[in-house]
Each structure stands twice: as C-alpha cells, then as structure tokens.
Homo-oligomer: A and B are copies of this chain.
C-alpha cells in the first residue's frame, strides 16, 4: 500500500488555518449518489463512485482546501465501496487537501476506539484528517476520541445544530443544567479548544475540535454562542447547506457573524451537478462567491 502523507507534525487546527489562508473556506462534498453518477455518465457501482471521487479530487487540487466524502454513498457498496473510498482518501491526502470523512459515527467506550482507529489512526486504510461524530450517547462519551485525534494531529467535528427540519425535536431540548442540547455541545467544544490553548491563543489560531452547524439554522433563536466559537482559538465550524440546500455563499458573514472566519462552507450537489466537465469551473465559481 502506498504511504499516505502524514500531518507534518502539524495540529489539525493549524492545517485548517493554513488552508483558509491559501484557498479560502470552501469544502467540496463527494456524494456519489445514484442520480449524480448518472449525471456524470458513470455506473452506479463502487467503481463509478471511485471514479467520481478521483475526478473531484483532481478538480479540487489547488483550487480548494477541503474535501468531504459522504461515507454512506460508498458504504452502500459494502467492502468494494470502502476500497473505492480508501483510494479517494489517499489521492486527496496526497494532493494535500484536508479530508473530512462525513461518517457521523458515535458509540461508547472501546467501540468509539474502533471508529477512531478506522478514520484517524495514522496508516489506517481509511485515514482522514478529521471525522464527523454524532453525540447522541453524550458529548462526554466522545472525549476519548477527541484526545486520540489531537495526539495524532487529527480533528473531529461534532454534530451540534443541523439544518434539517426534523432536527429541532432533539437539538432544541432543554438540558437539566440549562441551555439546549445544541448550545451545550457548542459550549463544550469551544471550551475544549479554549482549555487546550491555555489562554495563550493568538488571533487567527484555530482549534482541533469543531462543530457541525447547518447554515440555515437561526443562531439567535437557538442561542448558539457564536462569540465563543470565534475564539481565539477559533472553533472550526463545518457548515453544510450551501448551494442546493438553500444557503447563499454571500451570506456567510451575515449568518455566522464573528465566527464566520472559521466556517468551512460545504457544498455538494450544487457543485457536482455541473458534471465531470464542469466541476472544476463550478468549484472556482463557488469559491470566488464565498470569498467576496
């Protein structure tokens, strides 16, 4: 197996900050959905998913800092799909793109260790720069995964407030100690970044632990503390929902206010709809709109 690049001894947050500076905040999703494979004249198979992924890596190289493969669209092909994903992850990391595996994993104890080994362990076939995590079993249950990630120069991004309408039922529920489920996760993540920097963070510094916040969430209504996320150190904010899901690139600053500089703005369908011939141009256009 060819070697995948390491982290160069850098923290995940440092690499995120460098990617912001070099390429801006756009993150391109790799969602090899059946209808997109069709649009790309590719078969709805693991081979088709790999081919779409590799073409997106090529189009993204030098134009953007972040890629976010959606694991479910590879997982549906079983082991063959994971072999395809391994190849896409390796090529992406060799191209020095920051790869966020969108897996939304979450369990307890040694089972979480299994997931950390899968996505964050140097040398693992599915090695990524960061993985998304789901906190239904309690944010504290994910803490060992955070420590594992940091030890290896990796990151995690924890679901906090998502933009789908069904999410409010759980995410706005009130916790006993005050606040809502989503505000408590935001505060806990920001707190981990603050305590890791021991009060010595300089402006522009980015933490290793991030949150997932849908771009179409009303942060004022949900009382999400954007100030705490702004830092320093700034908390990385993975924000899906751009393009196809209704948020506009030009609105990032209006929506995320002081936390906008650490938003990783993710778009998938709206870019991939451009097809194989148009994807590089669609990436450039989205990135330009975002940096205006």
User: Measuring CB to CB, which residues of chain A are less than 8 angstroms from any residue of chain B?
Assistant: 31, 33, 70, 72-73, 75-83, 85-86, 104-115, 117-118, 121, 124-126, 134-141, 159, 162, 164-176, 180-181, 184
Given contacts A72-B107, A174-B174, contact A140 B114 (CB under 8 A): no
Of all chain B residues, which has the CB nearest A110?
A: B33
Cα of A126 to Cα of B159 in the assembled complex, Å: 26
Nearest Cβ in chain B — how far from A160, in angstroms?
10
> Mind listing 27 A-B residue pairs with CB under 8 Å?
A70-B114, A72-B107, A72-B112, A76-B115, A78-B86, A78-B118, A78-B124, A78-B126, A79-B86, A79-B125, A80-B125, A81-B118, A104-B105, A106-B136, A108-B162, A134-B134, A135-B136, A136-B159, A136-B167, A136-B171, A138-B165, A138-B166, A138-B167, A139-B169, A140-B166, A141-B164, A173-B173
Given contacts A169-B175, A170-B135, A181-B173, contact A82 B76 (CB under 8 A): no
Q: How many chain copies?
A: 2
B72 to A136, Cβ gap below 8 A? no
B173 to A176, Cβ gap below 8 A? yes
B139 to A170, Cβ gap below 8 A? yes
10 nearest A-B pairs in the assembled complex, by CB-CB distance: A72-B114, A78-B125, A138-B166, A173-B173, A140-B166, A79-B82, A76-B117, A79-B83, A141-B166, A136-B136
Cα of A287 to Cα of B187 in the assembled complex, Å: 45
Of all chain B residues, which has the CB nearest A163?
A: B108
A162 to B174, Cβ gap below 8 A? no
For A174, list chain B residues within 8 Å (CB).
173-174
B114 to A76, Cβ gap below 8 A? yes
Cα of A92 to Cα of B110 in the assembled complex, Å: 24
For A171, list chain B residues within 8 Å (CB).
136, 138
B169 to A138, Cβ gap below 8 A? yes
For A126, list chain B residues within 8 Å (CB).
75, 78
Nearest Cβ in chain B — how far from A182, in angstroms?
10
Given contacts A73-B114, A169-B184, contact A82 B78 (CB under 8 A): yes
A175 to B164, Cβ gap below 8 A? no
For A164, list chain B residues within 8 Å (CB).
108-109, 137-138, 141
B125 to A139, Cβ gap below 8 A? no
Cα of A162 to Cα of B138 in the assembled complex, Å: 10
A75 to B180, Cβ gap below 8 A? no
Known: A70-B114, A75-B126, A104-B106. 12 other contacts (CB 8 A): A31-B111, A33-B114, A70-B111, A72-B111, A75-B115, A78-B82, A78-B124, A79-B85, A108-B167, A109-B164, A138-B171, A170-B175
